[in-house]
Amino acid sequence: MKRGLAVIALIAAPLLADDVYLRGGGRVTGEIVERSDDAVTVDIGGGTISVRTASIVRIEENVAPSQQYRERAAAISTGDAEAWRELARWARGEALATQASQAWSRVVAVLPDDEEANQALGRVRLDGRWVSEEESYLARGFIEFEGEWMTPGERQAILNDRLARDQADRQAETARLTAEQQATAEREAREEAERDAFLSGGLPQYGDPVNWGWGYGPVYWPTTPVDLGRPGRPATLPSGGRR
């Protein structure tokens, strides 16, 4: 029943900006632009936010600055530059940038050379007339590059610097790869030389002592003694001798 009364109260309220207080202590401030049984949509200036009715504790009605601006602007005549100036200053103080710009434009429409209004609109004086900042830069030969205005020479200097850094990075990477390849080739050549040296030693022959790791092992038998006096012929052992 209480929820139903709250919904009725919300629906009956005028479409003004409000402070919408939420359960848990939160608050949404802005201009209510839409209502339903389930939610209230609030324009908070930079967008809208939808608040569930069940989450709302209460609403304190206030007139939002944007609503005040519309009401005040509607009461100013087109040619009243000072009234538009006053409204523009007020809107700027309320952080209503868009509305302030609209009001300053109204001032310039009446007083084209008004310094305060032109500066507020971001204009600069060039050759005795007020132009936009972009027009001023273009007229002086500037170009826009990556969000900044600069001379063509400054732009080229930036590009040249980037190109030099890119080339240095590529050269450093090439040198690193070359060093790695050279080290790999040297290691492979060394390993191949070690293999060749091992294989060129040959396998042990009969009669050669075999290295068992802790010293020479036994000689392979049988061995064939050679008579040094008659090369190529086996020596004759004394009778009773053993080979």
- The CATH number that applies at residue 48 is 2.30.30.100
pLDDT (tens digit, 0 to 9) for every residue of the chain, 243 residues total?
Answer: 444 434 333 333 344 457 889 998 888 888 888 888 899 898 887 788 899 999 999 887 777 788 889 999 999 999 999 999 999 999 999 889 999 999 999 999 999 999 999 999 999 999 889 998 898 889 888 899 998 889 999 999 999 999 999 999 999 999 999 999 999 999 999 999 988 888 887 555 555 555 555 554 555 455 555 555 555 555 555 555 454
Residue 118 lies in a domain: yes
Do 55 and 83 sit in the same domain of this protein? no
Q: Does 204 fall in a domain?
A: no
pLDDT score of 44: 81
Residue type, 69: Y
Regarding whether 179 and 152 lie in a shared domain, the answer is yes
Domain boundary among 63, 96, 114: 63
- Residue 47's alpha-carbon distances to 30, 34, 44, 56, 214, in angstroms, are 10, 13, 6, 20, 89
What's this model's pTM, rounded to 2 decimal places? Answer: 0.45
54 in the same domain as 95? no
Nearest to 9 by CA among 49, 58, 43: 58
In a domain, 241, yes or no: no
Q: For the chain, how are helix, strand and coil distributed in percent, rounded to 5?
A: 45, 20, 30
Residue 208 lies in a domain: no
Under 8 Å CB-to-CB from 5, ≥6 apart: which residues? none
Model pLDDT, residue 202: 56
Q: Are residues 8 and 59 in the same domain?
A: yes
121 is a domain residue: yes
Domain enclosing residue 147, as ranges? 141-198
Residue 191 lies in a domain: yes
Decide which of 17, 42, 63 is a domain's last residue: 63
Please state, in angstroms and rounded to a whole number, the distance separating the CA atoms of residues 50 and 35. Answer: 9
**24, part of any domain:** yes
Q: How far is 239 from 8, CA to CA, in rounded Å?
A: 138
Q: Tell me if 226 is assigned to some domain.
A: no
d(CA 25, CA 23) in angstroms, rounded, equals 6
How big is the chain, counted in residues?
243
Contacts of 54 (CB under 8 A, 6+ apart): 3
Number of domains the chain is built from: 3
Helices (H), the chain: 2-12, 65-74, 81-93, 97-110, 115-120, 133-139, 152-200
Look at residue 204 in the predicted model and tell me its pLDDT.
54
Which of these three, 125, 150, 175, is where a domain ends?
125
DSSP 8-state assignment for residue 54: G
Which residue, 51, 59, 48, 44, is CA-closest to 96? 44
Q: Are residues 71 and 53 in the same domain?
A: no
